[in-house]
Amino acid sequence: MTSRSCLTVILAAGEGTRMKSELPKVLHMIAGLPIVAHVAKAVTGAGGSDIALVVGKGAEKVEAAVRAIAPNVTVHEQTERLGTAHAVLAARDAIARGYDDVLVVFGDTPLIETAALAQARAKLADGADVVVMGFRPAGPNGYGRLIEKDGRLMAIREEKDASAEEKQIGLCNGGLMALRGKSALSLLDRITNNNANGEYYLTDVVEIANAGGQSVVAIEISPDNVIGINTRAELAEAEAIWQNRMRRDMMMAGVTMHAPETVFFSHDTLVESDAILEPNIVFGPGVTVARGAVIHAFCYFEGAKIGANANVGPFARLRPGADLAEKSKVGNFVEVKNAVVGIGAKVNHLTYIGDATIGAAANIGAGAITCNYDGYNKHLTEIGANVFVGSNTSLVAPVKIGDNAYVASGSVITANVPADALAFGRARQEIKEGRAIELRARYAAAKLAKKAD
């Protein structure tokens, strides 16, 4: 299969008016990745690294989304909407370059799987000239039926034209197709618009190829593969299917999930085996979780690395640049941003750590924060190994705390603290005997005066 060249034509020119959005339909997100980029990932996985992208509205943004996945992209504008075959022929120049295989897919079918596309290519390698990808919906009403005889696909019959017997066929047209490259253009050029709508239909390729004695076959793929997105409701349904696939893949790879239906992944989330995910966790883009890490409930992560056997949450937020080393701990109501938490270090609760490094085995007390922003620029806080930072401490960056230093609770630290030193940064406590009585009387009188007004 790898020795065969392949071009994938992605049809992404639809305006998507039913999405009720200024954003092109194929740029709406599933698992943090544009719909059309999901398609590009699937086709590149099947060896279709060369892509002919047929675009309309928002062409530049659609192109950028696909190029982020597959750099070998040519862009072809579809200026008129005259049917699926007309859309494919917008990429005539790319098809004419000469490929062994040509795949035709839709930019709004994000659940297409690499395995389904590879199956179609395998049929081409076995000698088929046209491969139609079919599926069996729960209810076939409204779909074109695939008419087969002796293992050969004879026709795609639209339901309105189907006989009573043909309507009993459960295998339906999914719209996705694979063509032998050397005959693709000759087949496409023979499609006419001699129909009620005056459009050029890609499905006519089947009967044209049969009439020419070429090999036409159908393969059956999962119905999920052909789900198209036309509305926000369908977008949410596709997201749910994608998440369920990912959850199953994670668990089959050795990840424990207590309530998988409450855990949401991004398209690039990586979780190693023996990690444990408790309920209600959301992974944004760019998160990796190493072996044996425990993620407690109600956490949100984005752009973060979680080391082996680390312990995170509950109610923790890791922002981009958070890097938690092996056996580190980030506890409840802790936010970490652009910071390294060293091996075995603990940030247990109610703390903000931003633009910082924390050394191995350091302990950061409740309510401690790094004051990293001066209103114009971010500054670094460096906390050494085995440092103890007491509760409700403010570390005003740029500042460095040396190894084995101790920072007293309630301190505001504005200067570097040497290794093994003890730092206090707070006012000395004073006691004013009886002053509470005086204050209460003063405050009560002020309250009465305010009411009198």
C-alpha closest to that of 52 among 107, 118, 126, 128? 107
C-alpha closest to that of 337 among 350, 320, 324? 320
Give burial (CB, 10 Å; 0-12/13-18/19+) of 443.
exposed
Helix-helix angle 114-125:35-45, to 10 degrees: 40
Terminal alpha carbon distance of the chain? 89
The dihedral region occupied by 199, where left means phi > 0, alpha psi between -120 and 50, and beta the remainder, is beta
For the record, the structure tokens of 117 come out as 């596309």
Q: CA-CA distance, 108 to 18, in Å (whole number)?
A: 13
CATH number corresponding to 6-226:
3.90.550.10
Taking only the tens place, the pLDDT of each residue in 194-252 is 887 888 999 999 999 999 999 999 999 999 999 999 999 999 999 999 999 999 999 99
Report the length, in residues, of the chain.
453
Q: What pLDDT, on the 0 to 100 scale, is given for residue 48?
A: 80
Query: Does residue 384 have a known ligand-binding role?
Result: no
* CATH 2.160.10.10 describes domain 232-423: yes
Taking only the tens place, the pLDDT of each residue in 1-13 is 458 999 999 999 8
Cβ proximity of 228 and 144 under 8 Å: no
Q: Where are the domains of the chain?
A: 6-226, 232-423
Query: Does residue 158 have a known ligand-binding role?
Result: yes
Cβ proximity of 51 and 65 under 8 Å: no
Q: What pLDDT, on the 0 to 100 scale, is given for residue 56?
A: 85
Q: What pLDDT, on the 0 to 100 scale, is given for residue 2?
A: 59
C-alpha closest to that of 346 among 354, 359, 355, 333? 359
Q: Given the DSSP bridges, would you call strands 130-135 and 172-180 parallel, antiparallel or unpaired? A: antiparallel
Q: What are the catalytic residues?
A: 349
C-alpha closest to that of 338 among 321, 319, 313? 321
Provide the Cα torsion 42, 44, 46, 47; round to 10°: 170
Distances (CA, A) of 223 to 143, 169, 226, 242: 12, 15, 6, 13
Query: Does residue 25 have a known ligand-binding role?
Result: yes
Query: Does residue 118 have a known ligand-binding role?
Result: no
Query: Does residue 309 have a known ligand-binding role?
Result: no
Q: CA-CA distance, 314 to 300, in Å (whole number)?
A: 10
C-alpha closest to that of 414 among 390, 393, 428? 393
Count the Cβ atoms, other than its own, within 10 Å of residue 387.
25
C-alpha closest to that of 110 among 239, 279, 253? 239
Query: Does residue 170 have a known ligand-binding role?
Result: no
Looking at residue 52, its amino acid is: A
Q: What pLDDT, on the 0 to 100 scale, is given for residue 261?
A: 98
Give burial (CB, 10 Å; 0-12/13-18/19+) of 379.
middle
Query: Does residue 366 have a known ligand-binding role?
Result: yes
For the record, the structure tokens of 161 come out as 């034209």
Query: Does residue 141 have a known ligand-binding role?
Result: no
| DSSP annotation string for 193-239 | --STT----GGGHHHHHHHTT--EEEEE--GGGG----SHHHHHHHH
Q: What pLDDT, on the 0 to 100 scale, is given for residue 49?
A: 79
Cβ proximity of 148 and 206 under 8 Å: no
Count the Cβ atoms, other than its own, within 10 Å of residue 374.
11
Residue 31, helix vs strand vs coil: coil
To the question of pTM greater than 0.85 for the whole model, the response is yes
Query: Does residue 13 have a known ligand-binding role?
Result: yes
Cβ proximity of 298 and 315 under 8 Å: yes
The residues of the chain scoring below 50 in pLDDT are: 1
Query: Does residue 363 have a known ligand-binding role?
Result: yes
* Consecutive H or E run containing 281: strand 281-283
Query: Does residue 150 have a known ligand-binding role?
Result: no
- Alpha-carbon Rg of the chain, whole angstroms? 31
Count the Cβ atoms, other than its own, within 10 Å of residue 52.
26
